[in-house]
Amino acid sequence: MKNTTHEIRQKFLDFFKEKGHSILPGDSLIPKNDSTLLFTNAGMNQFKDFFLGKKQKNYSRIATVQNCLRTGGKHNDLENVGYTERHHTFFEMLGNFSFDDYFKKEAIMYAWELLTSKKWFNLDKNKLWISVYENDIETYKIWKNIIKVPIEKIIKIGDKNNIKYNSDNFWQMGNTGPCGPSTEIFYQFKIDYTQTTQELFNNNNCLLEIWNIVFIEFNRISNTEIIPLAKKSIDTGMGLERIASVLQNVNSNYKIDIFQELIKKISYFSNIENLNNISLKIVADHIRAIFFLISEDITPSNEHRGYILRRIIRRTLRHAYKIGINQNFFYKIIPKLIKLINIPSGILKEKEKIIQKILKKEELQFSQTLNKGLKILNQEVKKISNNIISGKTAFYLYDTFGFPIDLTKDICRERGIKIDLDDYNKYKNEQKKQSNIRKKFYKNYNQDIIINDRSVFCGYKKNRIKSLIKYIFVENKAVSSISENQLGIIFLDKTCFYPESGGQIGDIGKLYFKKTCFLVENTQNFGNMIGHIGKVISGTIKEKSTIYCKIDKIHRNSIQLNHSATHLLHAALQKILGNNALQKGSLVSNTHLRFDFSYTKNINFSQIHKIENVINEEIRNNHLIKTKNLNIEEAKRNKAIALFDHKYNNIVRVVFIKDFSIELCGGTHTNRTGKIGIFKIIGQSNVSSGIKRIEALTGQYAINYLHYQDTLIKDISLILKSNNSDIQEKIKNLILKVKNLEKKADQLQNKENTNQIKKLLKKVDNIKNIKLLTHILHKYDQKSVRIIVDQLKKELKNAIIILINKINNSYTINCGVTKNLTHSITAIDIVNIFIKETQGKGGGKKEIAEGGGMNNAKLPIIVKNIKQWITEKLKNNIF
């Protein structure tokens, strides 16, 4: 019988427990208090300070199973994943550690015993090979004289490029930190005497490194400085997936039991039958990494750990699509795949939903650009003659289509093409520099610019005019010219760009003349001057020269629809809700409008519909929208809406939408209401007491929203197998059915619980006068386990109740301790014993606690020991 991966993990721990090691849980994937590491990449990370002698450990011998991620940082395997049979982003590392306790000899002897003894892994000694650090004579002698490995099977590995300690047999955690010479044990699947030791080691595929034993003797302070440590330690690491491939004799990590299950499931959703397919392997590997990263509360982003996650997700998506998993479908299969990942108990169940939500968002975002980017890359591939993609193209794919560089590398690798990485890095660094400058610029741009002058706004009627450049500011200082790539603010004598005011956002567009061009990204008022904020994209622009200014018409049109609709909304609110519904704030952008107004009562759905109806009717009436400059008194006579307690100039601009809406306004508007097309409220909320907020869409944005709603209803109908008209009825019936079923299920469960309690009461032990119940249930309803523990506590009064519920390969534990006993023994203490022994998780209080873990095989022995432990604890107490 082959060992399962779970059994191998357990055997490792059992072996080291027998050798006096404390078994501790692995650390989180995010190293605590260690800014030198992005992710935990080895079992020793959590013990860094103990190796360095900065902290004292309670135990001198430890063994752990550590979740590791080798993506980003010093140890980065991402690019190899899928292409070799061995590399993973995420993997589990088995490790034993000694702190100022045993050293070289024992560490080697333990490793040899575990690997070769019949009782443990029982590997053929002839298939094992050894490497040692060239200068480490002591280790060489241990292998040769004590373990008696033939010298032709021991290879000495020296420093590379004559740099001291730059060797495969000198392990370093990162650019700084504990380090030391190492000895590695290799496995040869098929004995081959035709090659020399050197040849075997040179050929990657011949020998599989299974165990790295590091003799921690030094601390690396910097690139050039390394100092000896006062105390010597042992740090060993054995990849669980690798040793499983050896013990299951499958010659590939991807062929071990846990990966095969996962790969089969993925292949089922794909159009691939060959389970050796690279993309299948990549998806299987990456899913585990994605799961564990999101479980550690990392979300995809453009920097730091979030970017590593994003890179892994994007690489997964490309490979998933490549093997025929439909676009925007991948996130849906996640729950099915997660079930196959080795997760302790049901505690992490809620993460499943979060992962799906995050992946859905990422997938929707990236699948849109993936195809476009691939097309561009294909075109580029056709053009090149030297099999090298330029850094510019790789950067364009990154910058515009969100292709992480390793994704582009991955695609190119499949086609035998390289990327000019130096060139790419040049673009990347330049972008970084620009983006820092930009951030600084936008943070400070309007600080101290005071110009005693006035610009004329011509943008009510014109979209493009010829102007004179009056002032140029760069970094808040007046300059006479601004050149390519510089960010700055340009002031003109007259402009058609509307500066942000009255809730309407500023215009965007360009200032240009012949080959010079300045991209306007925002327009703001600076006193009486209008500032065009942006960047020169070509040429040099000089003060006192002529320039054309041209707004982005599509952007402005969308703003105008929302601005005119805002006036319609304001008037409609006053008609329907009363004259007190007065504007308190507003935002008019190209994408939507937001309107805050005074109103104390709740607004119901039918009022919302009324408001929409009134506005849409005025839209269909296709009124002309006119503006007039009027004397303020005249405006009042026209009943124009305004904040008349505000100070206005004598002459005010009034916007008339027939006599439906007359309002003072400086903003820009469309010329006919019909152009708004459609008005749709999408949100209503309370901003503060007495102030309501309405958010709404117009034009194509409103149509898009309706399409989305439409699709949603259709999807629901499809799920319910009904037509749109009877979905409500169907949902109501379903809810009723579910409620009835739940009621019946509850009744049955209650009966079962009563019977179960009766059975359990017969199994109660007595320790002195205290009742102890320890029992293992099988796939019992988890909610009921909690209820049973509570009832037993009430019934037995003076008792400790431990109920274990086995569910496939995992278990949960629920523990209850009656209050009178909690000063000597607590429920959380008991749960901790279980989870420590099984790398589980849990929590709770003194009287009630629960947890869960894997390694069900260990349960009988823990149960046995726990009885003794409780007896000991209670021995000296009188109750």
Binding-site sequence positions? 563, 567, 665, 669
Token couple for 857: 């095989």
Check binding of 237 to ligand SER (CB under 6 A): yes
The least distance separating ligand SER from the CB of residue 70, rounded to whole angstroms, comes to 9
Helix axes 278-295, 330-338, angle to 10 degrees: 80
Q: Rounded CA gap, 617 and 610, in Å?
A: 11
Q: Rounded CA gap, 611 and 598, in Å?
A: 16
Residue 7 vs residues 11, 164, 855: alpha-carbon distances, Å: 6, 41, 8
Q: What does the DSSP 8-state code read for residue 623?
A: -
Phi, psi angles (nearest 5°) of residue 320? -65, -45
Nearest CA among 105, 127, 106, 103 for reference residue 115 = 127
Q: What does the DSSP 8-state code read for residue 208?
A: E
The least distance separating ligand SER from the CB of residue 42, rounded to whole angstroms, comes to 3
- Residue 214 or 830: the one with the smaller Cβ distance to ligand SER is 214
Q: What dihedral do alpha carbons 645, 646, 649, 650 form, nearest 10°?
A: -10
Q: Rounded CA gap, 648 and 666, in Å?
A: 11
The least distance separating ligand SER from the CB of residue 858, rounded to whole angstroms, comes to 24
- Which residues in 492-531 contact ligand SER (CB under 6 A)? none
The least distance separating ligand SER from the CB of residue 66, rounded to whole angstroms, comes to 9
Check binding of 212 to ligand SER (CB under 6 A): yes
- Residue 214 or 694: the one with the smaller Cβ distance to ligand SER is 214
User: Can you point out the beta strands (E) in 476-624?
Assistant: 477-479, 481-483, 487-492, 494-495, 509-513, 516-526, 529-538, 540-542, 546-551, 583-588, 593-598
Check binding of 65 to ligand SER (CB under 6 A): no
Check binding of 240 to ligand SER (CB under 6 A): no
Check binding of 850 to ligand SER (CB under 6 A): no
Segment holding 95, helix H or strand E? strand 90-99
Check binding of 177 to ligand SER (CB under 6 A): no
Q: What does the DSSP 8-state code read for residue 504?
A: B
Check binding of 92 to ligand SER (CB under 6 A): no
Segment holding 801, helix H or strand E? strand 799-807
**Helices (H), ranges, 721-808:** 727-761, 782-796
Q: Rounded CA gap, 251 and 86, in Å?
A: 9
The least distance separating ligand SER from the CB of residue 45, rounded to whole angstroms, comes to 8
Check binding of 178 to ligand SER (CB under 6 A): no
> Rg of the chain over CA atoms, in angstroms?
36
Check binding of 185 to ligand SER (CB under 6 A): no
Check binding of 179 to ligand SER (CB under 6 A): no
Among 8, 44, 831, 833, binds ligand SER (CB under 6 A): 44
Contacts of 876 (CB under 8 A, 6+ apart): none
**Distance of alpha carbon 693 from the chain centroid:** 32
- Residue 44 or 696: the one with the smaller Cβ distance to ligand SER is 44
- Residue 32 or 646: the one with the smaller Cβ distance to ligand SER is 32
CB-count exposure of residue 691 (10 Å: 0-12, 13-18, 19+): middle
In the bound complex, which residue of the shown chain has the CB atom lying closest to ligand SER? Answer: 237
Check binding of 236 to ligand SER (CB under 6 A): yes
Among 14, 92, 136, 235, binds ligand SER (CB under 6 A): 235
Check binding of 43 to ligand SER (CB under 6 A): yes
The least distance separating ligand SER from the CB of residue 234, rounded to whole angstroms, comes to 9
Q: Rounded CA gap, 370 and 43, in Å?
A: 37
Residue range at the interface with ligand SER (CB under 6 A); choices 233-241, 422-430, 634-642, 764-772: 233-241
Nearest CA among 753, 836, 848 for reference residue 799 = 848
The least distance separating ligand SER from the CB of residue 822, rounded to whole angstroms, comes to 41
Between strands 418-419 and 154-157, the pairing is unpaired
- Residue 27 or 618: the one with the smaller Cβ distance to ligand SER is 27
Residue range at the interface with ligand SER (CB under 6 A); choices 220-228, 230-238, 293-301, 456-464: 230-238
The least distance separating ligand SER from the CB of residue 113, rounded to whole angstroms, comes to 18
Check binding of 214 to ligand SER (CB under 6 A): yes
Nearest CA among 803, 811, 874 for reference residue 837 = 811
Which amino acids are annotated as binding site for Zn(2+), given as ranges? 563, 567, 665, 669
| Residue window 767-806: x/- pattern of binding to ligand SER, with contact defined by CB under 6 A | ----------------------------------------
Nearest CA among 606, 605, 607, 616 for reference residue 577 = 607
Residue range at the interface with ligand SER (CB under 6 A); choices 10-18, 36-44, 436-444, 662-670: 36-44
Neighbours of 683 (CB within 10 A): 11
The least distance separating ligand SER from the CB of residue 515, rounded to whole angstroms, comes to 57
Residue range at the interface with ligand SER (CB under 6 A); choices 235-243, 640-648, 769-777, 844-852: 235-243
Residue range at the interface with ligand SER (CB under 6 A); choices 231-239, 332-340, 345-353, 500-508: 231-239
Residue range at the interface with ligand SER (CB under 6 A); choices 38-46, 225-233, 654-662, 830-838: 38-46
Check binding of 39 to ligand SER (CB under 6 A): no
Q: Rounded CA gap, 244 and 435, in Å?
A: 47
Residue numbers at the binding site for ligand SER (CB under 6 A): 42-44, 95, 171, 212, 214, 235-237
